[in-house]
Structure 1
């Protein structure tokens, strides 16, 4: 048998394959190996286009094209990370056939996908920058709800299941799924998100984040997380660049394929509430190649899924701020302040909290289309379209216990005091948090090679929305003792069981908590409509010239322009209160009850609210005059929370690729110019403080950012690579901080103007990265990376509220506006390893282990008055880890994954005490997931996944690093997913 050689280089240089093949009785056989290592190359497709002759190399690299008649044919070879290579060969009646291929490798920034973990490892190994790659098989081997949670399986990535959007805090977390990610210690707004290389629209209202929970794992082939950014990548990525990649027809060996997947899901916490706990999903995809030499390709996919949930929540944090301010110091001065020498966080106690159930569903659908034309090795053109929609209904029924009339009694003769909670108010608060999110991308592009030149044009469009179209709420409360509720008179409200507060109250109070129908009807309903969206589009042109003279391998340069428009609105209508003595139960909106508000912990009942009946009640009293967003005049209420803006970014870059034997050096320079124009509402007042009709205001911001970089890669052999990089990057401030609405108030002759700040500086960073990656050649690989970031002008995510607000001006006119923070530092180490014990005797050769560990240290000076000069950076855990044990052999796969995330700061100075002791922390969390799958052959595969196998708490936030006295907690139970897939 002849020996075929296939030299694989995924990043630079050319690939030469030589087959010395016997062609007897029309059979062409051979073996494909990497000549540098001698390792066989599996999953390489060998085809004769336009015919049915095709083969895929086996694990040992062997392949056979059987029964090929005498004649001349075009033979192609393709593999992930390589451009398809073609050559003509004549098959004689007998004798040998020599076939030679030259295939230029595909750079990682091109749309290359990885079907399995081993191809993903190869892509990482051959990249010229530090990346993590998640393959299609990785996505199939998880029980995650969405791609945000999938990213959490990679080193350096933290997944947050709430944010500071329209829906934040415990309300967002109680949906029970990951929403946003931080990379290497920096929030989602410090990252760039791409779909097939296209910048996606940022539909979030108050930040530049992208809500990744709307994207399901299905329909994606590969996720690439770039931890470093070369000059040919967008410069506004201090954290990282995430590229979600979908397949094309040319990513499949066969000229025609399709697959269909059906899945079912079960949410166990919803079962505890006896609510709808089931969900299902359908997905299909198809791809075909046709035309002369199969030069045309079409890929189409579509999906639909729905999940129902009902989760438990306890909210003391959510009661600690406006408007109940339900917290106190357990030991205090006479005025209620913290005594000198006492740790204020450890001295906290809650004087009120909520317990409730959050139920609803999330429905997602979408799909992808890819049209490709590859007439020869020098020309290609494509069109890509992707669309994703997520609709969420969320209904939160919260049973509330709030201390009223808190005073302070002296403790003996000590001069210290403790709270006296004179009354307890029992309440019910029902609210909905509906959400409509969509995200779409479209692009048209191609590639053309003329001699040493490679030209790559691309035009693109993306649009996205994140809306809360009809949030409605209603409440009731006890009214005895002048509206204060039950007489109480104790210094503490609760004792703690497993760190959860349990009320120290009488059976009469518990009974009232479970019988809200008898309470007086209070308000007639409140409706809020919030909309946010962005449309962005543009084009880019990249050019590469291969020189191959001395150390200079090639130069690459390009330009890019993108423009975007966005708008955010937020309007509120309040119908006022009932005053006729009717009860809450008489309103006709109660349709049943939950027998236990938080099964196993808090066992009183709460009602099930009929949302349709509530809307009918609201509409009975609704009036345009009830609009009360932020003022007294209708025109101001309609426009005060509306912000519009445009942002245009122009960029140009140049880089060179230098090679000195085994050393590759890539110096580069990028320049980006940004022009932002904001439109916002100005609400003025006259000298007597009376509100006047407002008007639109305008401001503009410009940024010019030079971004030099240098990368070095040393490859002493094909099994190892050592990287080092220094690069610069930046992030533009959130739109709401630049151009939020302007409010004017006048008091005692002093005019105070609160508005956004167009003079905010861009957040900039100098980044350092060193790494080493090794492959054992026996089923193992190891990656060790160290990174550092020096960040300047830091701005933290503060939702719709101005960050780091300061006052300036004169004694008669005071301006309040957001400002930049100071400098920050991030240092970290990532270790990732995987080993399959393939050299052990069968059946033990299917076992393997994998792990990744991240340790990082962060600090920042926010420059906010009173805060520590070395605060932890927001949403940056100190430890993150994933540990996996797996088995894969003869079509069977089994994965057991342990996931750990350390504690991190979510918000600074949560109680507004002008200090850091009251930062809001998210407690460390852990989860174990299980997956099992079997390939039955003939294209049939079945999988079973269980997320959160041991029913761990999914979210726990608390005020103060060392205190759990005031916490928000969400318990979501397990998610069980069963799927079956048929492929042809």
Structure 2
């Protein structure tokens, strides 16, 4: 549909390197117009954006950039501290979760790298390695059918798209403003080289990039779930929003170091009748993430005899004799966690096109492999004694009270004595250190063959048919989430926090932290984990090494037939597709003395009819309509695998998840209507209406293997000891509907330097909900990651060698996850303003500067319930700020 209007970098005008002036604005207009023409001439509704336009923006990753397109929004998962990187991970299309997208690289389905979702985390791909992105919102029968939301196709360049002997280098420097303000490492940068060489009918394109940056982020959150103030009021917590209070505040510092590198190698040979090609791409994302957390919170250290409260039926002493909450003896804690991860993606495609008269044959074979590895997850906790202020009779008198006057920066109520006791780092003694490992990978093979027969220019224009076979092997394993590698210090024998190598942070969110943020020396804690935690590996029960392992195979055989009929300006594309799916997985089943590996399998078929229609009353206008059936397959780990258990930072079991091999594929009927009109130059307007009717809905959210933060719910219950027990079903029905509006206009006739001003904007209004059962209760529920309002606005300027833009993006609130007894978690609205400018010093050399997050706004804010007044607990994200980023760009082409 629409090409983004980002200024492209200057490029030599012809193969020979003509010397005259290169007018940047003219080249930019040409690139935008070309993309608009491609989108208008596409078979169905398609959004197209070039890599040059993407690279002009200050955002560092694809999800953030593509989230500015009509009908799209980006999202991030904080269970692995990912929001603290300042980058989005996932892309949602039209109010549907990211797992409902199909992801391709040069037309090849990408391997899955997340264990519990089919969503692809786009943070491992750099815009420096992409030539074009196409988002197809209404695919024809010739495309894969498991694309309820649409298809995201990332493409690298053909050597014949560039000058015959092309070479270009791009460099970008970055400074993280928040890190610089805290006296931490703020530096980062990226360099990319690309070349295209053509020799007659043969061409080579090669590119390589490397990027590294440091990010420092800060957040606040509440400790543990909300509890009732008056326990005598009946009902669950979610039904008592005015009767809830948190149990302490946590202040989190995140130090992140990100590396991206990769490259592409494309070979292509052309003759009069045949084109042969090879397209290979590799990308890797490495994250070092260190979290330092201090808190004042409930610690349950007051002896029973010294607690004035009666003992309840669960053995707790939280409420007084009148049923009102009275948490005696708050304590202060320091908690350290790493979330290091390595992701990689390899994709290679060999194929060609042969034309024999009116017959065109397309064929390819492809392989891709994706990995996601958490090589060493370290956790350690230090804690102070509870401050109870015992009276003369030895009874505790000081209670934990948490104020919420500032929803972004809550505070614990402290008197001077409590403040002095709970901020003395010499009393913080180490309680434990532990390690965990997780790994998942998938490798995929596919082969496809298509034949198209051109028959006439009117009436039945062509017939097309083809088939495809795919085979994917999936593996996942983890160790340590049950505390098997935990080393516990004897009570009071652990090292004092202030004796550990490290430093106190210089400032924190306007000094909101009530306990100093201590940053442990990461080398010291890693060595300690090696000496105390990892030394337990040789003696670990061999069963523990196997019981979280899953290995599965998925295969799909598909075929389709598609016709093209043309009657004047009206073109019809009726088609039908059939897909046969099989799953088989082997995993450890915990059945007491009969425990061991077991195998589950299933298969299902999908018949997917479609009709795409377009009407072109002229060269500049197109009206489209589509009706199609599509589906989405549950991820391996939701279908097959062992019962999984999660534990909080104190080692207490807090959730149980049970996969369900009987899940059905989500099916949808999709209806789209749109109109697009091109004006002069790059002026353009469009409007689109869409409606989707879904059956067998699975509430699944894109997540980075979220241990400790369950984001996938359908049927869940609460066990007698308060543990959330979840399994899945696909009995829900849902609907999605909305409107997308887009406009771009360059002002005409402005004098002098004002010539070149223009505006662009898009607005999406949508609704997405489904009926489902949670804890035995029927709900009509908003679907996850579906904001009801998104809009983007841009003021741009292109005049001679200069170009600039001020952009603003807004994404409304959206559901993050469902809870049973607790309020559901929501992500509050996020807005971002960016500023950038480029100037072509010479025809071949361009410089640019940019500021990301000009307004220093938050980049993540999750709450318990839809209101902004109730900040979420730590594992749901809380309130996160990453600050501004300053960038300098250089491009040289020859």
Q: TM-score, normalised by structure 2?
A: 0.88
Counterpart Cα distance in 1 of 2:871 and 2:150: 34
Could you say if the C-alpha distance between residues 544 and 858 of structure 1 is closer, same or farther in structure 2, counting changes exceeding 3 Å?
A: same
Counterpart Cα distance in 2 of 1:468 and 1:234: 31
Question: Any residues of structure 2 matched to 1:553-592 within 5 Å, and which?
Answer: 553-572=461-480, 573-579=484-490, 581-585=492-496, 589-592=500-503
Counterpart Cα distance in 1 of 2:154 and 2:176: 27
Matched, 1:183 2:93: yes
Matched, 1:935 2:840: yes
What SS class does the counterpart of residue 186 from structure 1 fall into?
A: coil
Counterpart Cα distance in 2 of 1:444 and 1:429: 50
Partner of 2:262: 366
Partner of 1:37: none
Could you say if the C-alpha distance between residues 740 and 135 of structure 1 is closer, same or farther in structure 2, counting changes exceeding 3 Å?
A: same
Partner of 2:228: 329
Q: CA RMSD in A?
A: 3.3
8 Å Cα contact 2:84-2:256 kept in structure 1: no
Q: Which runs of 5+ in 2 are unaligned?
A: 3-9, 301-306, 311-319, 646-655, 718-724, 873-877
Partner of 1:749: none
Q: In structure 1, which of residues 188, 202, 225 is the aligned counterpart of residue 112 of structure 2? A: 202
8 Å Cα contact 1:515-1:606 kept in structure 2: no
User: 1:286-318: CA deviations, max 9, x gaps?
Assistant: 11111xxx21111110000101011101122xx
User: 1:706-747: CA deviations, max 9, x gaps?
Assistant: 000001100000010000000110000121111021589xxx
Matched, 1:257 2:136: no
Matched, 1:400 2:305: no
Q: In structure 1, which of residues 628, 635, 651 is the aligned counterpart of residue 558 of structure 2? A: 651
Matched, 1:541 2:449: yes
Post-superposition offset of 1:420 = 1.4
Partner of 2:795: 885
What SS class does the counterpart of residue 496 from structure 2 fall into?
A: helix
8 Å Cα contact 2:458-2:568 kept in structure 1: no
Matched, 1:957 2:862: yes
What SS class does the counterpart of residue 574 from structure 1 fall into?
A: coil
Question: Any residues of structure 2 matched to 1:340-489 within 5 Å, and which?
Answer: 344-376=240-272, 378-404=273-299, 417-480=323-386, 489=398
User: 1:597-635: CA deviations, max 9, x gaps?
Assistant: 44442264222212222222223334665699xxxx823
Post-superposition offset of 1:349 = 1.8
Matched, 1:153 2:54: no
8 Å Cα contact 1:470-1:529 kept in structure 2: yes
8 Å Cα contact 2:384-2:422 kept in structure 1: no
Post-superposition offset of 1:156 = 1.2
Higher mean C-alpha deviation, range 540-549 or range 873-882:
540-549
Could you say if the C-alpha distance between residues 517 and 307 of structure 1 is closer, same or farther in structure 2, counting changes exceeding 3 Å?
A: farther
Counterpart Cα distance in 2 of 1:58 and 1:506: 68
Could you say if the C-alpha distance between residues 300 and 722 of structure 1 is closer, same or farther in structure 2, counting changes exceeding 3 Å?
A: same
Post-superposition offset of 1:682 = 0.8
Partner of 1:93: none
Which structure has more relative contact order (CA 8 Å, sep 6+)? It is 2
Partner of 1:788: 691
Could you say if the C-alpha distance between residues 979 and 806 of structure 1 is closer, same or farther in structure 2, counting changes exceeding 3 Å?
A: closer
Could you say if the C-alpha distance between residues 953 and 755 of structure 1 is closer, same or farther in structure 2, counting changes exceeding 3 Å?
A: closer
User: 1:20-78: CA deviations, max 9, x gaps?
Assistant: xxxxxxxxxxxxxxxxxxxxxxx99999xxx9699999999x9xxxxxxxxxxxxxxxx
Q: Which runs of 5+ in 1 are unaligned?
A: 1-8, 11-42, 63-78, 81-113, 163-167, 686-691, 745-752, 808-814
What SS class does the counterpart of residue 732 from structure 2 fall into?
A: coil
8 Å Cα contact 1:559-1:653 kept in structure 2: yes
Counterpart Cα distance in 2 of 1:496 and 1:754: 36
Question: Any residues of structure 2 matched to 1:412-811 within 5 Å, and which?
Answer: 417-480=323-386, 489-490=398-399, 492-497=401-406, 499-523=408-432, 525-548=433-456, 550-572=458-480, 573-579=484-490, 581-585=492-496, 589-602=500-513, 604-622=515-533, 634-685=541-592, 692=593, 694-742=595-643, 755-797=658-700, 803-805=713-715
User: 1:779-806: CA deviations, max 9, x gaps?
Assistant: 4100100001001101112656674246
Counterpart Cα distance in 2 of 1:52 and 1:947: 37
What SS class does the counterpart of residue 189 from structure 1 fall into?
A: helix
8 Å Cα contact 2:846-2:892 kept in structure 1: yes
8 Å Cα contact 1:455-1:544 kept in structure 2: yes
Compare CA radii of gyration and give the structure with the larger one.
1
What SS class does the counterpart of residue 843 from structure 1 fall into?
A: helix
What SS class does the counterpart of residue 128 from structure 2 fall into?
A: coil
Could you say if the C-alpha distance between residues 576 and 661 of structure 1 is closer, same or farther in structure 2, counting changes exceeding 3 Å?
A: same
Post-superposition offset of 1:754 = 7.7
Counterpart Cα distance in 1 of 2:598 and 2:308: 46
Post-superposition offset of 1:140 = 2.7
Partner of 1:87: none
Counterpart Cα distance in 1 of 2:410 and 2:624: 51
Partner of 2:317: none
Could you say if the C-alpha distance between residues 624 and 335 of structure 1 is closer, same or farther in structure 2, counting changes exceeding 3 Å?
A: farther
Partner of 1:135: 50
Matched, 1:895 2:787: no
Could you say if the C-alpha distance between residues 511 and 625 of structure 1 is closer, same or farther in structure 2, counting changes exceeding 3 Å?
A: same
Counterpart Cα distance in 2 of 1:608 and 1:733: 41
Post-superposition offset of 1:756 = 2.6
Counterpart Cα distance in 1 of 2:160 and 2:321: 79
Q: TM-score, normalised by structure 1?
A: 0.80
8 Å Cα contact 2:577-2:608 kept in structure 1: yes
Number of equivalenced pairs: 838
User: 1:227-265: CA deviations, max 9, x gaps?
Assistant: 11110111101111011111121111x211101111110
8 Å Cα contact 2:231-2:325 kept in structure 1: no
Counterpart Cα distance in 1 of 2:686 and 2:457: 33
